[in-house]
């Protein structure tokens, strides 16, 4: 089957939805999601979204981001992130995002390696609220159509110009031809045994880039979150205990009950200390202790975490939470400029599958949703300006010589092989390795 559209957006997380909302209403837009529409990491985000506390905070916000990223960040992109943070949070407020508030305005919390409180949030369900807010806006747009359970297997291309994507939906091959294609296909956690990510997110965007010689960057930069709920079941997605729990005062203790680290150090540093502590104490996990906080506060501030731990037999107001690190975020990805433009003509990439360079070697907490907002809006504006000069490339419908399973295995193999070349040390963390 052949379908034609002005813009194809691969992914319905924050980067896909927000880019579509920032495209002009007179463009036809098709969005696809591999699973259900909200089966994405965006809907799982707990902690919140970073935002500069006014223009006076921009320099400090940039410095915090660079420091956490071990100064491997792209400085220009990082400055754009901080400078454009405020207008994007304002936009979300106008869309009706229900941020937590105090009498003075928005409520700002703190997370590891931020010098001040600058994370806006909705309880511990920021991502769910964000996904729902954006989906509501998208569903009111007549020019946007969403195909759920539609998997991109490869891009369509002519020379170095992208012309859409080859997809499969309920066993039927669909070629979606587009003047501009946006890759917003998210992270890589589905390829890891222990990850906080949705299982269906298997680095498809980056794999397809590798396969088509589109430039990628920083494949070795993978973030392990220090505090995922510990259990022995490897087939489970690991439930995250948000950094904001430590931001509100939660203490890390080892299995002998002793504190061993400053909880608000950058994620990679805390993760390293936890692994060391687990080795030294011969215990498979450490604990996050919030038992000194009032039960009412915990129930109200962290309702999801409270409930989820209770389901797993832990009342967090009475006993410490067993935690251990798990794969969480991919700082590398498809190389893009500050408008999300890739090295292939007519192909943009936003969100976790892209690499703007803002995170350097280690992402500062709550900078991911912000990065997706800032750069997908910038990219959408560039597409709005340029699209009238981009013709639809006429391609013969490619015949799918191989089945869906073949493509999926091939994509996984391409990504894993490239990853292991630069990060041999994490080979054992990967599934099927
Ligand atoms: C548990 C958890 C908590 C987090 N908390 C925070 C937080 O508090 N603050 C913060 O800033 N960040 C947080 N993050 C990170 C952040 O949520 C993600 O980095 C961000 O949501 C990524 O958005 P995205 O749009 O790039 O991808 P996603 O939201 O993951 O969406 C990816 C989309 O791509 C689609 N897709 C993938 N492959 C294909 C394919 N082959 N064909 C078709 N569609 C495809 C998927 O179906 C999905 O719709 C958290 C992440 C996790 C896992």
How many whole angstroms separate alpha carbon 348 and alpha carbon 166? 16
Is residue 80 within 8 Å of residue 374, measured between CB atoms?
A: yes
Residues 113 and 178 both lie in one domain: yes
Helical H runs in 84-165?
85-95, 126-139
Based on the fold, state whether residues 48 and 168 are members of the same structural domain: yes
pLDDT beyond 80 at 167: yes
> Above 70 in pLDDT, residue 85?
yes
Residue 291 alpha carbon to ligand 1 centre in Å: 31
Give Cα separations from 151 to 32, 37, 408, 427 (angstroms). 7, 12, 10, 26
CA-41 nearest atom, ligand 1: 30
Q: Are 125 and 240 within one domain?
A: no
Print the domain residue range for 263. Answer: 226-326
Residues 397/172, Cβ–Cβ less than 8 Å: no
Q: Which of 276, 310, 326 is the last residue of a domain?
A: 326
Give 20 Cα–ligand 1 centroid separation in angstroms.
16
Q: With bands split at pLDDT 50, 70 and 90, how would you rate the model's confidence at 313?
A: very high
**pLDDT by residue (tens digit) across 370-399?**
999 999 999 999 999 999 999 999 887 666
Length of the chain: 433
CATH number, domain of 230, equals: 3.90.700.10
Q: How far is CA 293 from the centre of its chain?
A: 30
Comparing CA positions, the residue from 318, 178, 197, 21 lying closest to residue 309 is: 318
Q: How far is CA 337 from CA 76, 103, 152, 375, 393, in A?
A: 10, 40, 23, 9, 24
* Rounded distance between C-alpha atoms, residue 113 and residue 247, angstroms: 10
Count structural domains, the chain.
2
* Cα distances (Å, whole numbers) of residue 311 to 238, 305, 316, 365: 14, 10, 11, 26
Same domain, 254 and 351: no
Q: How far is the CA of 144 from the centre of ligand 1 (A)?
A: 20
User: Ligand 1, from 8, 9, 13, 109: best to mutate by most atoms within 8 Å of Cβ?
Assistant: 13
* Shared-domain flag, residues 94 and 13: yes
pLDDT averaged over the chain?
95
> Of 277, 305, 326, which residue is a domain's last?
326
pLDDT band at 33, cuts 50/70/90? very high
Query: How far does the centroid of ligand 1 lie from the alpha carbon of residue 317, in Å?
Result: 30
Q: Does residue 400 share a domain with residue 336? A: yes
Q: Round to the nearest angstrom and report the end-to-end CA distance of the chain.
A: 36
For ligand 1, which residues put their CB under 6 angstroms from it? 10-16, 32-35, 39-42, 44-49, 126-127, 151-152, 184-187, 196-197, 201, 204, 240, 329, 351-352, 366-369, 372
> Greater confidence, 184 or 244?
184
- 214 and 231 assigned to the same domain: no
For 272, list phi and psi in degrees, rounded to 5. Answer: -60, -45
Q: Are residues 53 and 119 in the same domain?
A: yes
Q: Give the sheet arrangement for strand 119-120, strand by strand.
A: 49-50, 119-120, 108-109
Question: Is the distance from CB of 360 to CB of 72 less than 8 angstroms?
Answer: yes
Q: What is the pLDDT of residue 111?
A: 87
Residue 263 φ/ψ region, left for φ over 0, alpha for ψ in the -120 to 50 degree band, beta for the rest: alpha
- Tens of pLDDT, residue by residue over 92-144, are 999 999 999 999 999 999 988 999 999 999 999 999 999 999 999 999 999 99
191 and 250 belong to one structural domain: no
β partners of residue 101: 106
Residue 54: exposure state from Cβ atoms within 10 A (0-12, 13-18, ≥19)? exposed
Could you give the CA distance from residue 53 to residue 110 in angstroms, rounded to a whole number? Answer: 12
Closest Cα to atom 17 of ligand 1: 42
**Ligand 1 atom showing the smallest separation from residue 127 Cα:** 17
Of 309, 326, 343, which residue sits at a domain end?
Answer: 326
Shared-domain flag, residues 206 and 317: no
pLDDT at residue 402 greater than cutoff 70: no
Our mutation pick for probing the ligand 1 site, out of 368, 371, 379, counting the most ligand atoms within 8 A of Cβ, is: 368
The Cα–Cα gap between 230 and 209 comes to: 34
Whether residue 235 is predicted with pLDDT greater than 80 in this model: the reply is no
Q: Which residue's CA lies nearest to atom 20 of ligand 1?
A: 42
C-beta of residue 31 within 8 angstroms of C-beta of residue 144: yes
The pLDDT value given to residue 400? 63
Identify the band that residue 403 occupies on the pLDDT scale cut at 50, 70 and 90.
Answer: confident
Taking a C-beta distance cutoff of 8 angstroms, is the pair 417, 427 a contact? Answer: no
Mean pLDDT of 147-175: 95
pLDDT of residue 433: 54
Are 25 and 162 contained in the same domain?
yes
pLDDT at position 81: 98
CB within 8 Å of 140: residues ≥ 6 apart? none
Residues 373 and 291 in one domain: no
| Active site residue ranges | 267
Q: From ligand 1's centre to the CA of 258, what distance in Å?
A: 35
Assess whether pLDDT exceeds 80 at residue 338: yes
Going by pLDDT thresholds of 50, 70 and 90, the confidence category of residue 13 is very high
Question: What Rg value do the Cα atoms of the chain yield, rounded?
Answer: 21
- Residue 76 backbone phi and psi in degrees, to 5: -65, -45
């Amino acid at each position: 089957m052949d379908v034609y559209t002005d813009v194809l957006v691969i992914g319905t997380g924050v980067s896909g939805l927000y880019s579509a909302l920032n495209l002009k209403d007179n463009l036809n837009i098709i969005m696809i999601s591999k699973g259900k529409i909200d089966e994405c990491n965006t809907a799982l985000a707990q902690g919140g979204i970073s935002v500069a506390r006014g223009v006076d905070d921009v320099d400090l916000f940039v410095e915090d981001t660079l420091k956490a990223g071990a100064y491997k960040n792209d400085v220009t992109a990082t400055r754009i992130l901080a400078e454009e943070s405020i207008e994007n949070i304002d936009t979300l407020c106008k869309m009706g995002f229900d941020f937590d508030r105090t009498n003075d305005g928005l409520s700002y919390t703190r997370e590891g390696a931020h010098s001040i409180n600058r994370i806006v949030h909705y309880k511990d369900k920021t991502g769910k609220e964000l996904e729902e807010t954006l989906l509501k806006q998208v569903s009111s747009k007549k020019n946007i159509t969403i195909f759920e359970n539609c998997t991109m297997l490869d891009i369509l291309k002519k020379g170095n110009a992208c012309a859409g994507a080859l997809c499969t939906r309920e066993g039927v091959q669909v070629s979606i031809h587009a003047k501009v294609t946006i890759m917003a296909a998210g992270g890589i956690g589905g390829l890891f045994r222990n990850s906080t990510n949705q299982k269906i997110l298997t680095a498809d965007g980056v794999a397809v880039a590798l396969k088509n010689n589109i430039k990628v960057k920083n494949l070795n930069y993978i973030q392990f979150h220090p505090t995922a709920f510990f259990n022995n079941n490897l087939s489970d997605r690991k439930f995250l205990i948000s950094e904001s729990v430590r931001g509100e005062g939660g203490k890390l203790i080892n299995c002998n009950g002793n504190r061993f680290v400053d909880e608000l150090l950058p994620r990679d540093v805390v993760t390293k200390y936890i692994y060391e502590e687990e080795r030294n104490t011969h215990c498979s996990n450490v604990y996050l202790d919030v038992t000194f906080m009032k039960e009412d506060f915990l129930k109200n501030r962290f309702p999801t975490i409270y409930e989820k731990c209770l389901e797993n037999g832990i009342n967090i107001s009475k006993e410490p939470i067993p935690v251990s690190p798990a794969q969480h975020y991919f700082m590398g990805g498809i190389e893009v400029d500050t408008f999300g433009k890739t090295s292939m003509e007519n192909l943009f990439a936003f969100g976790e599958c892209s690499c703007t360079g803002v995170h350097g070697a280690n992402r500062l907490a709550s900078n991911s949703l912000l990065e997706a907002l800032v750069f997908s809006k910038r990219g959408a504006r560039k597409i709005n300006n340029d699209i009238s000069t981009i013709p639809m490339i006429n391609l013969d419908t490619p015949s799918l010589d191989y089945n869906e399973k073949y493509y999926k295995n091939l994509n996984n193999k391409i990504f894993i092989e490239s990853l292991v070349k630069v990060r041999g040390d994490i080979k054992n963390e990967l599934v099927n390795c």
